[in-house]
Structure 1
Amino acid sequence: MIRMLLRVLGHEYARPVRRTVALMTTTAMTEGLSYALLVPVLRALFGSDPAAAWPWLIAFGAAVAVYAALRYYSDLSGFRVGIALLRGMYRRLGGHLAQLPIGWYDARRVGEVSVLASEGVLQAMSVIAHLLAPFISACVTPLTIVAVMLAFNWQLGLAALAAVPVVAAIQVWTARSTAATDAERHERDQEATGRVIEYLQAQPVLRAGGRTGERFTLLDDSLREVQRASRRTVLATLPGVVGLTLAVQAIFAGLLVLGAYLALGGDIGAAELLAILVLAARSADPLLSLSDIGGKVRGARSELARLDTVLRTEPLPEAREPIEPAGRDLEFDSVVFRHGDRTVIDGVSLSVPEGQRLAVVGPSGSGKSTLLQLLARFYDVDAGAVRVGGVDVRAIGTEVLMARIAVVFQDVYLFDGTIEENVRLGRPGASEAEVRAAASAARLDDVIERLPGGWAANVGEGGALLSGGERQRVSIARALLKNAPIVLLDEVTSALDPVNEAAVHDGIERLMAGRTVVMVAHRLRTVRRADRIVFLDGGRIVEAGDHDELLRRDGRYAEFWHASLAPVVRE
């Protein structure tokens, strides 16, 4: 467990962790040794001179005081190291997640990482602060007491020592028998969490369909599976708990019988027997707690293993000697990209000269958005090359590449903060005048004037307090403030009302001015002014040219164009 923890976090934490483990072990041994003083105390009390117990009582009190001080400092050290590990884990996990390719974040993994980054990290890092001290105490204190018993009476000490392999075997057996059910329970919990989120997100659809009073079958099924998995976990754990309890009680009963036999035979005094039985009883409590503590430690270890799996996921490789591109032209050179078993981009070659606009059109699923994602290096190609300024994006440093690209997506995500804070994400060091100018160019100032609080208005989580068009204007203002020489636009006017569409178009025109642009659009009227248009289908370019040229060919693009005009003609 500790080795895995240090492997996940890095060995810079090894010294404080080992120091804390040593302090906790010393504390547990001190606790066990302090009980050894009960033997001379009881021997004096039951002897001819009870007053002789005073020195031993004082020694016992001093030992308890030392133990209390050690326990305080070991617990304090555990909390401090636990907080440091928690901080380090969040930093490492956050930094690593930021480096993973966007394609890694499918729907299943987003839910998994959200749970792992909250409950998982806290549970894994709670080991040092909350579980390690009682676990060490439950193991070391009874062993120390057994050593004390061996020193006073070897027969009773050996009998108590027999409990060690029995307890260890029960713990190992319990861990193995519950491993499968623990994994199943975790999987069912994750599935149920996803179904709860799905149920909440589906409320508009369910209510529109008049099904608010009906149960959500998928959610009900997943919750029933959680219940079944929980029952199996309890049933798998129960034999170990009962077995440990029976084993400890049986060993204590055996010690009692053996002690009575030795006392009746005159091999041990009544005071020594009573003291040793007190020691045995005191060691039983931490042993019985091993079931609960062991289960929590196993759960923390499972979360730590999942964190380790995520942190071992390889990010996109960085060039050892990054090259900074001199220009801002774009090129796809025989690019092939596969997602799973499906070929999304199949041998695409095209170029966008510096300062020109390329429009990518085609049916849904043809790979249009994937081209933008390959340019921004959200993925790496399987064959061929994507170049910016004549340099393969894989040879450009990530920060340098992203500094040259501004991306405006159809689905805009805004952080829970003010409008100004979200705009400033484009360039945090921008002056107030530059922020205001970007907002004005994006027609965002119209929105700000309407909102109570103006620039200080909160947008809510994901921008929920703004409309889709308003969120899009914030995104455009952010891109304008970034002032990157390359602009990627992905369906930015899809599903906007006419007023917002006009405002967004105005902002987009200002954003594209003088820059190299690649735009993806369903509404073909937005691509008429592009210098070049490519029609993508099945991951291949089937047509290329400007708007008028493609209409004269009367091919796929012309078919799409006339279909887009059909609703207007009917009106």
Structure 2
Amino acid sequence: MIRTLLSVLGDDYAPPVRRTLALMTVTAVAEGLSYALLVPVLRELLGPTPADARPWLLAFGAAVACYAVLRYVSDLAGFRVGTTLLSGLYHRLGDHLARLPIGWYAAGRVGEVSVLAGRGVLQAMSVIAHLLWPFVSASVTPLTVVAVMLAFNWQMGLAALAAAPLVAAVQVWTSRASAATDEERERRDVEATDRVVEYLRAQPVLRAGGRTAERFDLLDDALQEVQRSTRRSTLAALPGVVGLGLTVQAVFTGLLALGAYLALAGSVGVAEVLTILVLATRCADPLLSLTDAGGQLRAARTVLTKLDTVLRTEPLPVPADPVPPQGHDLELDAASFRHGADRIVLDRVSLTVPAGQRLAVVGPSGAGKSTLLQLLARFHDVDAGAVRVGGVDVRRIDPDVLMAQFAIVFQHVHLFDGTIEENVRLGRPDATDAEVRDAAAAARLDEVVERLPGGWAAHVGEGGARLSGGERQRVSIARALLKDAPVVLLDEVTSALDPVNETAVQEGIERLMAGRTVVMVAHRMHTVRRADHVVFLDNGGIVEQGSHDDLLQQGGRYADFSTVRW
């Protein structure tokens, strides 16, 4: 787990953890060694002149004080390193996520990363602040105590050392037995959380159907599964807890019997026997705490493994000698792309969009239309063939230069929880106020701004929740207009809008497309008619292509599709 933690932190942040770990190890050794002074202390106290124990008592007190100082410094270091690295890990994770291909962010992936970036990072850093010392203490202090016992009496030292494999075996067995149930419980927790969210979102439907008083079966089933998985997890860990306790008690009992035998045989003094039993008792405490800490360590290890997996995900390669695009034409040259191992999304697709021309991509759901747009903007890299912008393979263009070529408007618009102006300025942060207002007017966003309390300073809410779908789309178009990129990608922009908003958005789209190279995924006839060229995509390939009128006259797939859709 420590190795995984250091891997997650990276080379820049790992050294402070190594220093803290070394300090905690020294502290644990000091704790074990301080108990060695109990032997002369008890020998003198139980001898004929107890007053002779005073120097040893002072030495023991000094050793305990030294341990206390080390423990304070190590605990403080753990907390400070944990809180300092919390910010560092957030920065490392954020920087890495910003370099990953946009296509990596699938719907399920976003939720997973959200959990990792929130609760996951905090849980990972709690290892340093709260779990590292118990782990080090339970591992190092008993071994140090055993070494002290070997120094004073090899028979009892060997007996204590023989317990180490037994304790380790019980811990491994407990960990393996609990791993599967812990994973199941985590999966059930996630499912129950999803069902709670679903239940809250389904309130309008449930109330419309008059079912608010009824139990929501999906939620009830999910909660019952959480209860059952928690019970199974507890029962799986119970044998380990009992087994570890019995093992430690059995070893202590064996040491007690061996000590009594050696004392009666005169091989060892009573003081030494008492001291070794005290040391054995001190060994038992951290060993018994291993079971309690084991569950927390397993949960932390799971989070660290997920974080490590994300941080090990390779971003798209950046060219060592980037080549700038020579124009604004687009080309797919026998481009193929797979989603996963067995699903072919695009298969050897070739097409060209001359600079300043408009291409409409039409086809049924799942045909690969959105994927085609994503490949143009290099959200993914093709598995075969090439994608070119301005005659240059997108893999040879600097990512920042490539993204500067595109203004993208998606069907589902995401806005940040800020003002309308802040969301528009994302298109070009250094734009003047006049340029922002002009872009908003071209997108007919000024109409929205005028009727909102606060105007340009009005907050849109998380994800733009305070705006309607059409209003969010106008913000997105204004943002694209402000960016003023030479290539525009449109992904079914007006498919879910009401007639009023569709008219306003369409006007903004027309202004956005003017004089630019455009690739649009569209289903509306009035949108497709404005294209210079149309391709009909299905089963990962181009079935038909030509102008809108020519394709209608051919009476093929496009004509049939347009009859059904329009």
In the TM superposition, what is the alpha-carbon distance from 1:457 to its structure 2 partner? Answer: 1.6
Whole-angstrom CA distance in 2 between matches of 1:165 and 1:102: 49
Q: State how far apart, in whole Å, the 1-side matches of 2:475 and 2:362 are.
A: 25
In the TM superposition, residue 559 of structure 1 has moved relative to its aligned partner by 4.8
> What secondary structure, in the 3-state scheme, does the structure 2 residue paired with 1:489 have?
strand
Displacement of 1:337 in angstroms is 3.0
The CA deviation at 1:549 is 4.0
The equivalent residue for 2:275 is 275
Please say which of residues 482-491 and 53-62 is displaced more in the overlay. 53-62
- Equivalent pair of 1:493/1:505 in contact (CA under 8 Å): yes
In the TM superposition, what whole-angstrom CA distance separates every residue of 1:138-161 from its partner, at most 9, and x where no partner exists?
122122222223333333333322
Distance in 2 of aligned mates of 1:346 and 1:205: 41
Q: Structure 2: which amino acid aligns with 1:437?
A: D
Mapped partners of 1:542, 1:42: distance in 2:
93
Indicate the residue corresponding to 2:68 in structure 1. 68
CA distance in 2, matches of 1:331, 1:468: 32
Alignment match, 2:501 = 500
Distance 1:500 1:28, change over 3 A: same
Aligned-pair distance for 1:26? 0.7
Q: Mapping of 1:461-540 within 5 angstroms? A: 461-540=462-541
Question: Which residue identity is paired with 1:131?
Answer: L
Shift of 1:443: 1.6
**Are 2:224 and 1:224 aligned?**
yes
SS of alignment partner, residue 98 of structure 2: helix
Measured in 2, the distance between the counterparts of 1:247 and 1:348 equals 67
Describe the shift of the 1:256–1:97 C-alpha distance in structure 2 as closer, same or farther (beyond 3 A): same
> In 2, Cα distance between the equivalents of 1:206 and 1:76?
53
| Map 1:286-301 → 2, pairs under 5 A | 286-301=286-301
In 2, the alpha carbon distance for the partners of 1:157 and 1:343 equals: 65
Provide the C-alpha distance between the structure 1 equivalents of 2:162 and 2:463, rounded to a whole number of angstroms.
Answer: 61
Task: Give, in whole Å, the separation in 1 of the partners of 2:455 and 2:121.
Answer: 38
The Cα of 1:351 is off from its aligned counterpart by: 1.8
Partners of 1:112 and 1:190 within 8 A in 2: no
Please show how residues 197-212 of structure 1 align to structure 2 within 5 Å.
Answer: 197-212=197-212
| 1:463–1:85 CA distance, 2 compared to 1 (3 A) | same
Larger mean CA deviation between 433-442 and 507-516 belongs to 433-442
Asked whether the 8 Å contact 2:443–2:474 carries over to 1, the reply is yes
Q: Deviations over 1:32-60 (max 9, x none)?
A: 22222233333333334333333233222
Partner amino acid, structure 2, of 1:227:
Q
Q: Indicate the SS of the match to 2:349.
A: strand
- How far has the Cα of 1:411 moved from its partner? 0.5
In the alignment, is residue 310 of structure 1 matched against residue 310 of structure 2?
A: yes
In structure 2, C-alpha distance between the alignment counterparts of 1:451 and 1:146, rounded to whole Å: 74
Q: Deviations over 1:237-279 (max 9, x none)?
A: 1111111111111222222223333334444444443333222
* 8 Å CA contact retained: 1:322, 1:395: yes
Please say if residues 34 and 63 of structure 2, whose CA atoms lie closer than 8 Å, have aligned partners that are also in contact: yes
- Residue equivalent to 1:568: none
CA distance in 1, matches of 2:367, 2:541: 8
The TM-score, its normalising length taken from structure 1, stands at 0.91
The alpha-carbon distance between structure 1 residues 552 and 152, as it changes in their structure 2 partners (threshold 3 A), is: closer
Give the match for residue 454 of structure 1: 455
Describe the SS at the equivalent of 2:365.
coil
Q: Give, in angstroms, the shift of residue 561 of structure 1.
A: 4.9
**Which AA in structure 2 matches 1:352?**
V
What is the distance in 2 between the residues matched to 1:28 and 1:381? 54
Question: What is the 5 A alignment of 1:62-211?
Answer: 62-211=62-211
1:349 is aligned to 350
Determine the C-alpha separation between the residues in 2 that align with 1:444 and 1:46: 91
Distance 1:72 1:278 in 2: 24
Q: Counterpart of 2:28 in 1: which secondary structure?
A: helix
Contact 1:111 1:194 in 2 (8 A): no
Report the TM-score when normalising by structure 2: 0.92
Residues 284 and 337 of structure 1, relative CA distance in 2, 3 Å threshold: closer
Distance 1:204 1:101, change over 3 A: farther
How has the CA–CA distance of structure 1 residues 155 and 360 changed in structure 2, closer, same or farther, with 3 Å as cutoff?
closer
- Counterpart of 2:545 in structure 1 is 544
- Provide the residue aligned with 2:321 in structure 1: 321
Alpha-carbon shift at residue 360 of structure 1 (Å): 2.1
Cα distance, 1:473 vs structure 2: 1.0
Shift of 1:486: 0.6
Structure 1 stretch 508-517 or stretch 494-503: which is displaced more? 494-503
Contact 2:416 2:462 survives alignment (8 Å): yes
Matched, 1:433 2:434: yes
- 2-side partners of 1:558 and 1:426: how far apart? 38
- SS of match in other structure, 1:387: strand
In the alignment, is the contact (CA less than 8 A) between 2:103 and 2:374 conserved in 1? no
Q: Distance in 1 between matches of 2:557 and 2:163?
A: 81
| Aligned equivalent of 1:569 | none
Measure, in 2, the Cα distance between the counterparts of 1:386 and 1:251.
69
RMSD across aligned C-alpha pairs, in angstroms?
A: 2.5
Query: Retained in 1: the 8 A contact 2:13–2:88?
Result: no
Q: Distance in 2 between matches of 1:346 and 1:149?
A: 72
Counterpart of 1:139, as a letter, is S
The answer to which of 45-54 and 31-40 deviates more is 45-54
Given that 1:111 and 1:190 are in contact with CA atoms closer than 8 Å, whether structure 2 keeps it comes out as no
1:463 Cα offset (Å): 0.7
Seen in structure 2, the aligned counterparts of structure 1 residues 346 and 46 have a Cα distance that, compared at 3 Å, is: closer
Worse-matched range after superposition: 329-338 or 443-452: 329-338
CA contact (8 A) 2:356 2:515 kept: yes
Provide the residue aligned with 1:407 in structure 2.
408
Q: What's the CA shift string for 1:508-562, capped at 9, x where partnerless?
A: 1221122111122222112332222333344443443334444454555455555
CA contact (8 A) 1:443 1:473 kept: yes
Tell me the residue number matched to 2:242.
242
Shift of 1:226: 2.8
Q: 1:551/1:266 Cα in 2 relative to 1: closer, same or farther (>3 Å)? A: closer
Match of 1:389 in 2: 390
| Matched position secondary structure for 1:331 | strand
Q: Deviations along 1:290-344, whole A, 9 cap, x unmatched?
A: 1112232222222222222333333333333222102001122233333343433
- Determine whether 1:378 maps to 2:379: yes
